[in-house]
Amino acid sequence: MAILVVGSVAFDAIETPSGRRDRCVGGAATYFALAASYFTPVRVIAVVGEDFGPEEESVLTRRGIDTRGIEHVPGKSFFWSGSYMKNLNEAQTLNTELNVFQSFSPKIPAEYRDSEYLFLANIDPVLQADVRGKMPKVKMVCGDTMNYWIRDHQENLARVLEHLDALLINDAEAKMLAHENNLVLAARRILAMGPKALVVKHGEYGATSFFGEQAFLGEKCRTPFRAPALPLAEVVDPTGAGDSFAGGFFGYVASQPQLTPAVFRRAMFYGGVMGSFAVERFGTERLQALDPKEIEDRFALFRQLSHLD
Amino acid sequence: MAILVVGSVAFDAIETPSGRRDRCVGGAATYFALAASYFTPVRVIAVVGEDFGPEEESVLTRRGIDTRGIEHVPGKSFFWSGSYMKNLNEAQTLNTELNVFQSFSPKIPAEYRDSEYLFLANIDPVLQADVRGKMPKVKMVCGDTMNYWIRDHQENLARVLEHLDALLINDAEAKMLAHENNLVLAARRILAMGPKALVVKHGEYGATSFFGEQAFLGEKCRTPFRAPALPLAEVVDPTGAGDSFAGGFFGYVASQPQLTPAVFRRAMFYGGVMGSFAVERFGTERLQALDPKEIEDRFALFRQLSHLD
């Protein structure tokens, strides 16, 4: 079933030890949508400027992604530039220009109203809550956030967390959000803020999911679950790995008739799979043209990598 | 079959956010031996001073560990004090007194000669090579080392690595040994130094094994393997977690009739299991009195934590 994603569609300038790109189509919603598109129909809500033309949009439409919710307005698109020269595990942000995102007011096209799954990518929690409120009937809502919103927009973020089925963030964000350095205790505190599940991404070490006391997936899913990441000899560009994880995770969930503990676990693996592809090339290059067989082969590799038998 | 371990048997003073202990029986060989003792007979070679009496030795003998190779000499036992107040993931060493270890010359009792498995715990690589040379017929040799030997005793260490079946070290040590920050590339370089397998311990994120080109475990084991660690709400004392991992890993291997890829994988899990017990109490407290059923239950939990079905 269709996933609706709201988030940034942007231009990125990236430098890593493997090289640089001055202008590639990026943004959390772009990575998420591309990764999820291998599993289920995806619809995007975002805003772009006059610099974002049909060629740029074709990065999404070639994958069958519905872009009717991408609003085109006067001005320049959101721009981010970052460097991984010092540390491949964490981007050093060189520049962020919100541009047209500064006055973004998400509108939901009529054709998107029947979306059963909603992903709130990392944007202002006020916008996340706004879109969530406009889609009261969705079956499942997942979301992401980042240090900036955790630190300076706590109250707005709290209103988003209350209504999430799953929050997907990284270790540092989880510890910051919970004011707690132990991951298990941090997870408990975050689950008490509302999300029924928490997926903590550990970069090269995989991801762990924690489950709250609320009814979700039944008793069998009280145990945390750890999915591996693939040890890679070369990480060309880590940009978008977390969003690609979320796209693989939620795309797989939305492709299944029912969310069971087994589906949740497999979704964690597909998250890792899509994250591992994303970092193999610059920007979204690798995610634009994957073969379904490559995805299944890598899923099998993730299983081989982590399973006893 | 019996494992012979050579390494430190010592006194530790430890402070962590959960409390402190001024004097507990510690040392790499102690943690290793206790963890391995739940799987297979263990024999220890070490040196202690006059301060190490029957009561201290009973920490080992109560677990059926053969201590006839522990030499008692005049002077004080090896002493280490460390603090985890700032960082539970890495000890800050406050004091190291080699004492009787300074002039240690390992002697192998006649009763130990038929040991089929040898573990070279973290000590001077000259001593490791010496013991290795005295046990030419062992079936399998594993070893550990640390930053100090990697940085300042490279040539001596190289002679140990040449003859190892498996080296067990942590991420920082692997990267330092290989002069390479990417773990996969670091593993390749280390495997080229001699070890047939490399197990890299990631602390709270588990461990990964890499396999070299040499004949070992057959073709099926070229893929790395990742074992999880258990997310714990309280880490009371991380001291000895890595040695306990090694003890669980190698103890399980030695308990099996043959080393197969499946045995290696299960051994990685048992390593994580014993490491997870070690950190639940101060020093070796938890490792001294485990119930075999607790170990099997935790092994089942590790499987549940990481397996799709």
Q: Quick check: B125 pLDDT over 80?
A: yes
d(CA B191, CA B207): 16
Nearest to A5 by CA among A63, A82, A75: A63
Query: What pLDDT is attached to residue A219?
Result: 66
Q: Quick check: A262 pLDDT over 80?
A: yes
Is A235–B88 a contact, with Cβ atoms under 8 angstroms apart? no
The one-letter code for the residue type at B228 is P
Nearest to B301 by CA among B265, B279, B270: B270
> How deeply is A277 buried, as exposed, middle or buried, from its count of CB atoms within 10 A (0-12, 13-18, 19+)?
buried
Q: Quick check: A216 pLDDT over 90?
A: no
pLDDT average, residue stretch B226-236: 96
- Average pLDDT of chain B, as a whole number: 95
Query: What pLDDT is attached to residue A220?
Result: 64
- A vs B, Cβ pairs < 8 A, gives 81
Q: Does A265 touch chain B (CB under 8 A)?
A: yes
Cβ-Cβ contacts under 8 Å for B1 (sequence gap 6 or more): B40, B41, B115, B116, B117, B139, B254, B255
Domain boundaries, chain B: 3-306
Q: Does A89 touch chain B (CB under 8 A)?
A: no
Question: Between the CA of residue B163 and those of A307, B120, B145, B160, what are the distances in Å?
Answer: 29, 11, 14, 6
Q: How do residues A159-173 score in pLDDT, each as one tens digit?
A: 999 999 999 999 999
Q: How do residues A170-205 score in pLDDT, each as one tens digit?
A: 999 999 999 999 999 999 999 999 999 999 999 999
- For A214-223, b/e burial (b = at least 16 CB within 10 A) is eebbeeebee
Q: Does B226 touch chain A (CB under 8 A)?
A: yes
Cβ-Cβ contacts under 8 Å for A2 (sequence gap 6 or more): A40, A41, A42, A43, A66, A112, A114, A115, A116, A117, A254
d(CA B95, CA B289): 29
Query: What pLDDT is attached to residue B257?
Result: 95
CB atoms within 10 A of CB A92: 12
Q: How do residues A217-241 score in pLDDT, each as one tens digit?
A: 776 667 899 999 999 999 999 999 9
Fold of A3-306: UDP-N-acetylmuramoyl-L-alanine:D-glutamate ligase (3.40.1190)
Q: Which of B88, B223, B233 sits opposite A185 (nearest CB)?
A: B233
Cβ-Cβ contacts under 8 Å for A44 (sequence gap 6 or more): A4, A5, A6, A9, A29, A33, A60, A65, A66, A67, A69, A70
**Alpha-carbon torsion, ordered B267, B270, B275, B280, to 10 deg:** 180
Q: What percent of chain B has pLDDT over 90?
A: 94
Q: Does A62 touch chain B (CB under 8 A)?
A: no
State the complex-level ipTM. Answer: 0.94
Whether residue A197 contacts residue A190, with contact meaning beta carbons closer than 8 Å, is answered with no
Query: What pLDDT is attached to residue B92?
Result: 92
| Residues forming a β-bridge with B85 | none
Q: Are strands A225-227 and B3-6 parallel, antiparallel or unpaired?
A: unpaired
Query: What pLDDT is attached to residue A38?
Result: 98
Query: What pLDDT is attached to residue B88?
Result: 87
Query: What pLDDT is attached to residue B269?
Result: 98
Q: Does A258 touch chain B (CB under 8 A)?
A: no
Residue B219: which pLDDT band, with cuts at 50, 70 and 90?
A: low
Query: What pLDDT is attached to residue A199?
Result: 98
CB atoms within 10 A of CB A66: 21
> How deeply is A71 buried, as exposed, middle or buried, from its count of CB atoms within 10 A (0-12, 13-18, 19+)?
middle
CB atoms within 10 A of CB A258: 7
CB atoms within 10 A of CB A56: 17
Q: Does B304 touch chain A (CB under 8 A)?
A: yes
pLDDT average, residue stretch A113-136: 96
Is B88–A181 a contact, with Cβ atoms under 8 angstroms apart? yes
Is B266–A308 a contact, with Cβ atoms under 8 angstroms apart? yes
Whether residue B251 contacts residue B297, with contact meaning beta carbons closer than 8 Å, is answered with no
Whether residue A285 contacts residue A25, with contact meaning beta carbons closer than 8 Å, is answered with no
Query: What pLDDT is attached to residue B220?
Result: 64
Report the range of poorest mean pLDDT among A20-34, B83-97, B174-188, B278-292: B83-97
> How deeply is A133 buried, as exposed, middle or buried, from its count of CB atoms within 10 A (0-12, 13-18, 19+)?
exposed
Q: Which residues of A touch B182 (CB under 8 A)?
A: 232-235
pLDDT average, residue stretch A75-80: 97
Nearest to A273 by CA among A286, A261, A262: A286
Query: What pLDDT is attached to residue A90?
Result: 84
| Residues forming a β-bridge with A197 | A166, A211
More confident residue, A219 or B19: B19
Q: Quick check: B65 pLDDT over 90?
A: yes
**Alpha-carbon torsion, ordered A38, A64, A58, A236, to 10 deg:** 0
Is B235–A182 a contact, with Cβ atoms under 8 angstroms apart? yes
d(CA A195, CA A94): 32
> Helices A28-36 & A54-61, crossing angle to 10 degrees?
40
Is A226–B306 a contact, with Cβ atoms under 8 angstroms apart? yes
Tell me phi and psi for residue B117, to 5 degrees.
-125, 140
pLDDT average, residue stretch A84-112: 92
